[in-house]
Structure formats: C-alpha cells, structure tokens
Chain A
C-alpha cells in the first residue's frame, strides 16, 4: 500500500543523466538515467552485478562516474565525497554496518556525525526523539553488541535521520530482517516519505518492492532495462525486466516426503567460547533420504555454529559422538574427511576462502574435496583424473570459465557456486549440507542450482539447506524449520506452513498456536 505517488511535475530531488562508469574488464554503468521526486520511494531493481551498487556509490560520492551528470534539486553537482553528499542531505545505509560493537548506540552515532554535532550525552535526547517519531524503538545507552541485526540497522537509519535528510539510500535493507521486522521498517519508510524525504530502495525482492515503492528503475548488465510502476506489474513482468527471459525461473517443484532418516541430530548443545558468538541449545533435527529440509533464520542465530558441527570443522568429544548420526552411525567426533567417507558433501556459506581456495585453479579446487574419489594413488595426485573431473563439473553444470586452469577468484560468484556445488554433487553424496546456496548468485545460476538440488534429492540423497532467503526455502524444501538464538524450531512440512509461521519461528516464537502437527522442544 504505497502512499499516493508524489507530483511528478515538481523539480526532481535527484536526477542522473547518462551516468557511465567503467571498471577494468567491465562496464558497470552504461548511460544510466534516473529521476527521483521529493517524497518518492524509488526502487532500484536488478540482479547481482547489474550495477546497482556502483550507481549508489556514485550518488553517495564514494565512486566517481566517468561520464554523465548528477543534478541535485535542479543544480548540477560534482559529488566529490560522502561528506559532501551528507552535507547536501543524502544519507546511506549500507548492507554491512560499520558500527563499533563495544560502544553504545549514542557513542556510535556521535562518532559518525563528528565532533561538531556534540557529545554522545548531548545527542541522546535527539536520538530518543527521532526513534519515537519514526516508530523505531532504540535505547541510546545500549551497547551495540547486545543489539539484534534489525536493531543495528535502526542505528544506521537513525544516524542518517539525525541530520536534515532529503534522500535516504538503503542497500538491500531487508536481507537481514525477519518478515515482521521488514514490515516495521516499511512503516518507518512510508512515514519518512510522507514528510517529503525521497528514498532510494535497492532490492531484488519483487514482493516488497511492489508493497513499498512508487516507481522502479530496473537495471540489467549495467544498463536501464526499464522504468515501471511496481504496483502495476506482475512478478513475472518484473523478473523479465531483470533477467530477460523469466520463463523457467518460477518453477514449482513437487514436494516429497522422503524415506528413512539419514541425518539425525539429537539433543545437540554446544557452548560457543566466543562471547559474541551464538551457542546452540538442544537441537533436534532429522533429514530423510530423498528430501530437502530447509532451515530459515536471520544470520548470527547459530547457523555458522550448526554448520561447523555438521561439517566436522568443530568436533565434539567421543562421548558426545552420538548427538550427530549418519544412518545411525555416530559421527559428531569424526573429522571432516571421515564424515565425507560416510557420504557427507558440504557447500559452505563463503565460496572464496572456505569452499574454494581463491589462488588455486579450478583443477586444484576440484581436488580439494574430491580427493577421496580415487584421485590420489601412492600419495601422488593423478592429474589426468583431476582434469577429467574438473572438465565434467564445468560441462555438467555449465560453469562459464576459459578453462579449468582459471583461478577460482577469477570466476563470478554464480559460476564459482555452480562449480562448488557440482564438485559436491558429482561425489554422489548421501547427505548434502548447503549453506546459502544461491546467496549473491544471479537468477539464472540460482535456477540451475535449484534444479541440481532437486535432481539430487530425487536421486535419493538427504539434503539440508540453510538459507536466509525464504522464497528459496519455500520453493525447494519439503520440510522447514528456523533457527533463533541457537534454538531450532520443530520441523514442519512446507505445504502446511505459511510465511508468517516461519517469520514467527525466526523471531523465536516456536509454539505458535496455529501449528497442527508440531512437537514442542
């Protein structure tokens, strides 16, 4: 329910004309035109790599355009740096926050605003006033490390609102929020827009763009693919603007129930030695052969810890070995390679530096996890077999690369992810654990990855997917649960689950009354 759209005849708050920016090897922005009216919520839609981030950075003065002009309230400006952008009334909330965890909210805001704005103590009343006015509850004295991700985002937004703001840029703000938190954010943004502040909202989630934004500019491959009014377009039309052909991207996969339990996690608790980390409490989870189980949750609620315990990077003592079982065999005390021998394959969240070694070739990266597949004999690497495997992965999963000698870091995120997933799938695992399998991957590659996961499921493997992308989880998983504060909600069949249920689980409300078949923890 967007507010009534502002009058388009006013002088635009911001106008971009023929903005162009070239990086070595790619044209990030090519002749981009954009216009935002006062009080307008404008969406910037596009896939990863479409040029959204570059364009925002140009507006905020972080990056300089090679050509084109930027017109602020009718006047041409040369945006030299973020300080100048801030002085004009442009605020920006980045995807990754820059907050000091050991300082309080007020201290962080005081630091960001500079000495002229006053001390942290002097700012506190103003912070309270702003947070009340826009419905964002926030205590200025609290230390940042005790805040949730959603609350940290509020700190960043309030920091922007403390000064006289005319244009607020938000980079994928909902990617770190539960659905309910996102709704709260939208209320705030609408109120801001009603007061005349323009908002540039970067996202690739079509549903929220339609709910919030008055107008949208869609970028594809660095160019404007179209301008539209999101409320009047269907998801399919928007998706087509974003990626060209959207026919195969909205596939519904049939849901299945699977066979016998393969992965069994029983009463898994783990105390995290890191004081800012998340400890796991009494996790119960089974994944059957031939099904996909999805685990939702906002980052930092125990996903990394659970993944490390499943992969074997974090081992438990032999006595606790039975808390994780593969086909009834205790494995929680085993090393990663021993677990792989028992059928585990694993796709970590970070592609570079965890799932693949950036400075090694695709060949070496194929060997990295597949070395138990007969690629090593008498201690020597069988180059021919590794070569064949790498070529097979590249062919079967359509990895775009000059050849298998290319370094892992030279591949785009989507291509490398296809390679890593292909490497794991070709080992014919009995259990695949995949963390954020399509994070930062373009829609085309994401569809390939989803199809590969479904095919692996139908071949009889147990699959556990941990993701922050609820659309993805609903699309591919057969059963769902959510992590919150190191606790796992009960598993429920996806078909019996509504988005709002998962939203409740992500916020820690596990015993929602509407659940028909859930066993309480």
Chain B
C-alpha cells in the first residue's frame, strides 16, 4: 500500500501542478524557522479579510499579521505564497485516531460495549496520532481535532483535543480531557436486550450516576478519614458536577434535546449538544439555556435518528445567536471520516455566509472548545497553525496546498 502510494505521487503532482497556485520557495521545515505566508486573501477570522496579506511566523507562533504594504517580510524568512490563507481548521468533534480507517475490530477504539456508562475511559489511552485518517484530515488544512469516544453508548468515555501533527509529542496535546461523551435517544440504547432499553431508563440511569457523583464529590471534600475509596468512574463524573468538564451530549430528536437541557438544569452542569439534527425545532429552548451546538456534518445521511436533518440547521442556529461549530462526526462505513472543510462549504451554500461558515471550523469552534486563546484565528501570539489554498477553500475543485502547525510545515501535498 505504501509502495503504491509512492508510485502514485509523481502522477498526482503532474496532474495537479498546473492548478496549484502555491510556490514553495525552499523547504521550510524547521520548527523554530521563520516563515512568511503571503496570501492574495488572508482570512484572519479576527476582522475583515486582508487582501494581499502577510502572516509572519516565528518560533511556532504568529508574529504579525497584516497587509503586505504594512508587514514587510524580514530577510531570512521563507516565503510561502497562496491564493487564500486561513487559520488552521478545527474539527469540533471527530473520532479519528481512535476509530481507524480500515474499520477492523482491532482499530475501532471509539466505543467499548461492556457497560453503558464509562466516563473513566480516557481518549488519550486510545489515540493513535499516526492513524491515516489524522493525516488525511491534516492534508485538507485541519490542524486541530476534538476527538475521542464516539456515540453509541449512554456514556462512552472522554474526549481530547490534539493537533494533527501526526507525532506523539506531548506538545501536540491541547487538552487530555476535553469533555465526556454521552448519547441520548435511540442511538444510546443498549444492544441485545441490555439496559438502557428505553429513553426513560437511559435518563434515569444517567441521573442516578450524576447523583452518586454529587455525593462522591461532597465526601471527597470532607475530612480525609471519611473519604470513600478512589473511584475512577465517579471521579470523572465529579469533574462534570464541578463544571470543570462538560458533557458532550450526542442527541438528534427534538424531545431528546429537551431531555438533555433538563438534565443540565437539574445538575447545574455544562453541556454541549452534539449532532442535534432536530435542533431547528427547539431553537428557543437551546438559546434560552445558552448551550452551544456542535452540529452534525452538513452532508450527514438522513437515516435513523437523523432522518429529519436539514442542510440549513447550522444557519438557523447561528442566526438565533447560538454558538455553532461543525464536526466530521462518526462514520461506521464508507467514507470512514468526513472532512469539516467540505461540510462547512455545503453549510455556506445553505444559509451561512462565507465568514460564518469558516467560523464554524475556526474561531467559533475554538471558542466552543475553550481553546481560542491558542487557535482559531490568525493573530499575533497565537499558535502558528495556517492553511493554504489555491482558491476559495469551500469550492470542491480548490486544493489545499500547504499546512502549517506550530510554525512547522506539515504538508505540502496538493490535496
């Protein structure tokens, strides 16, 4: 397979060379290297797009951003040119790295089915940084992923936030425990007669465990001799109770969304709605609860629980003032992952403006994930995560032509 991919490369480049607008001057790949990215249009996501803009990068961080007329490229900087430059993209929820591309049992670590509630399962213990799908997403300009345990169990485990560098260095990890993944509705029910067998039972089981976590948390704050033995399960849920970690609730039906909101209110916990294909039916309630939404992939199939999804939901929620980010989600078959760049493009064709759509995979995703201090826009001081394109990034026929993470050029492939 590797051999054939290598054989293909010269052909691919021959075909695409004409269309590729980017010119790589030299081969900057030094982490501490100084790079200047010059774009005919630079979408900083922190203000209006800059025509003929420059992004200066030094020591892995963005040094300066502005129009070429004001930002002079100092000597010694490697210059990369592109038609369009954006911040490195963020996939606000995926399972890549846990769910492998071959779809074989031994590399499907996004879901463990022995018991329905397992908040103690850590994503970092299953993430494969060198998984091909991580590389695949990176090639399109996706530099940060919120990945981890998938939908399909009442509580499937934790999630993490990581750069798509493909290396295993701790520096790539942004958050080891981002959220705890929950699934409500039919997709979260037990298989083969196992509990939870109904929606009511699922919510009852979750409430019972959250209540135990409240008690555990109280006892753990008490005198040392009266503390219960350490319990990984309750320890994880206690962080939810303390509002340190949100529940990422995968839920599709309008009435299940209301169940999720009810749960958040009852336990005063932070939640993020995930999928939420019928969110357009309960916009006011979501807005009133001030809950953000990581909406399903725009092109997700309208099957099963997602039968009523709409291409316009991201737009409807955004217009209501709800914080929305896009996800590639979980795919059980072909394609094994979606690409948020494509999903955002279709959202831009169905109600979102270009800037709003780009926001769902950059700055708004960063805000939703609580990482906007580091990524999501091109601003001085932020991580130097940059994506380069040879045209409107949302157009199907445009190519990603370069990707930079933490100031290091990680892809020069024309994809």
Specify whether A and B are partners. Answer: no
Residues on A lying within 8 angstroms of B by beta carbon are none
Residues on B lying within 8 angstroms of A by beta carbon are none
